Amino acid sequence: MMDSKGYVLVIDDDPARAAALAETVAAAGYRTEVYTDVIAAYHFLDGNQDLDVILCELDLEDVSWAEARRSLRELDLQIPAIIFSDRAEVGKMMTALRLGASDFFVRPIEDTEALLKSIERCVRQRQLRRELQESRKRLEVANIELRGTVKMLEQDQQAGRQVQLRMLPASPMIRGDYVFSHTVIPSLYLSGDFTDYFIVGKHHVTFFMADVSGHGSSSAFATVLLKNLFARKRSDYLRRSDDTILSPVAMLKRANKELLGLGVGKFATMVVGLLDTAANTLRYSVAGHLPQPVLVSGEGARYLRGEGSAVGIMEDVAYEEHLIDLPQRFMLALFSDGILEILPPQNLIEKEKYFLKVFEESAESPEEIVTRLGLDRVETAPDDIAALFISKRG
């Protein structure tokens, strides 16, 4: 019976009539079940999901089709039903169809082929409904699995975010008259923007701002690589007298080599600086970074210009190194390009003008700049935003 065309239930309180109908249906290749007792048929239907179609007499003794259909609804069975009657009464036919019958036949059935085609349509309808239910179940299972996966990824991202936050330097860090502080706002849990600063020797502080391409985990891993690179070169300076960490150009070349060696298609714009607290000078290099560093003093605010390709794009690349004397009182601000996304102007030139104007009008402290730019009100940025502030109080 496994290769039958479908499973058909015949309900009729006339045994001979029921048997004749069942015989016709079985001869067409359908598996059939016959019930002449309505109560017994009801119990048979309870929980039976294998049935494909019900062939039911309209004029059952003491049971109306409305009652039968109500019972089917109570059992939550979406089984198509074909109704039979000895009388071709339009009112009964319309009532049966209105109550959910798939088709209606009047005895004697002169067109057996039409009946079998109707059964075939009902079986196909039932099978399609089963397939839909199975698809829905599979989708629900897939959704549950997906929610679990997303939750696990979110937990991983949150854990990674905590690790990344712990990698950031102390804020503020005070070195005599110099104060170093930072702000990082990720667009996701993990950020591709990173900043760091640390003391090297007796009177030097090395710092950098990096904006890694893309977002999420892979970009965050690249920031870990850069953090590790600067930490290693600082260690080499202390233990091996390797002065690479004192050269912004040399550090950019090392960063370029390591990002290329990572082989994940990541590049980063960077600014690397070396502050000499004894001479009050700044040595810096820029690797394709926007906006460029802003130096604010009593003479106003200006960009510190610099040319150079982003690190991690090509092997042969040259960087410029600039050396400037710093004012006795100043603030140096470095931002990742995410800050440009939240500035009001529409084009880059106007954004850069607006950005510089903010510093000219309110540069008393990093906190004031953060407030003026609205960073203290940003919960989720369209792009990662990192800011590094170096101030000398004089």
Tell me the two tokens of residue 327: 């004012």
Do 41 and 91 lie in one domain? The reply is yes
Residues 115 and 172 in one domain: no
Asked, for residue 233, whether it belongs to a domain, the answer is yes
Decide if pLDDT at 159 tops 60.
Answer: yes
Q: What is the residue-averaged pLDDT of the chain?
A: 86
Span 354-374, mean pLDDT? Answer: 82
pLDDT value for 381: 61
Residue 141 lies in a domain: no
Q: What is the mean pLDDT of residues 220-231?
A: 90
CB 315 within 8 A of CB 348: no
Asked if residue 154 belongs to a domain, the reply is no
Across 55-64, 135-144, 247-256, least confident range: 55-64
pLDDT at position 165 over 80? no
- The yes-or-no verdict on residue 255 having pLDDT over 90 is yes
pLDDT of residue 1: 43
CATH of the domain at 296: 3.60.40.10
25 pLDDT above the threshold of 70: yes
The reported pLDDT for the residue numbered 3 is 67
Q: What is the pLDDT of residues 134-155, one digit of tens each?
A: 999 999 998 988 888 878 777 7
pLDDT computed for residue 75 by the predictor: 54
pLDDT top residue among 148 and 162 = 148
Tell me, yes or no, whether 159 lies in a domain.
no
Shared-domain flag, residues 263 and 314: yes
Three-state SS annotation for the chain = CCCCCCEEEEECCCHHHHHHHHHHHHHCCCEEEEECCHHHHHHHHCCCCCCCEEEEECCCCCCCHHHHHHHHHHCCCCCCEEEEECCCCHHHHHHHHHCCCCEEEECCCCCHHHHHHHHHHHHHHHHHHHHHHHHHHHHHHHHHHHHHHHHHHHHHHHHHHHHHHHHCCCCCEEECCEEEEEEEECCCCCCCEEEEEEEECCCEEEEEEEEECCCHHHHHHHHHHHHHHHHHHHHHHHHHCCHHHHCHHHHHHHHHHHHHHHCCCCCEEEEEEEEECCCCEEEEEEECCCCCCEEEECCEEEECCCCECCECCCCCCCECCEEEECCCCEEEEEECCHHHHCCCCCCHHHHHHHHHHHHHHCCCCHHHHHHHHCHHHCCCCCCCEEEEEEEECC
Are 186 and 302 members of one domain?
yes
106, 183: one domain: no
Question: 231 with 117, same domain?
Answer: no
176 and 315, same domain (yes or no)? yes
Residues 279, 223 share a domain: yes
Above pLDDT 90, what percent of the chain? 45
152 within a domain of the structure (yes/no):
no
Question: Could you tell me which residue, 380 or 209, shows the higher pLDDT?
Answer: 209
The larger pLDDT score, comparing residue 27 to residue 381, is at 27
What is the predicted pLDDT for the residue at 85? 87
Same domain (yes/no): 113, 202: no
Please report, for the domain that includes residue 85, its CATH number. Answer: 3.40.50.2300
Residue of 90 and 22 predicted with greater confidence:
22
* Listed range (91-100, 107-116, 353-362, 385-394) with the worst mean pLDDT: 91-100
Task: Report yes or no on 162 lying in a domain.
Answer: no
For residue 128, pLDDT beyond 50: yes
**Nearest-angstrom CA–CA distance, 277 and 177:** 9
In a domain, 2, yes or no: no
- The answer to the question of residue 359 being in a domain is yes
Across the strands, what pairs with 106?
85
Least confident of 29-38, 50-59, 100-109, 380-389: 380-389
pLDDT range class, residue 247, cuts 50, 70, 90: very high
| Confidence bin at 373 (pLDDT 50/70/90) | confident
Q: From 136, 151, 182, give the residue that closes a domain.
A: 136
Chain segment 344-361, per-residue pLDDT in tens: 888 889 989 998 888 887
- pLDDT score of 72 more than 70: no
**Is the domain of 56 the same as that of 193?**
no
Residue 365 CA to residue 383 CA, distance in Å, equals 24
Total number of domains in the chain: 2
Place of tokens 């794009």: 313
- Band of the pLDDT at 295, cuts 50, 70, 90? very high
Full residue range of the structural domain in which residue 305 is found? 168-392
Statement to judge: residues 197 and 345 lie in one domain: yes
Same domain, 110 and 181: no
Task: Report the pLDDT value the prediction gives residue 23, as an integer from 0 to 100.
Answer: 94
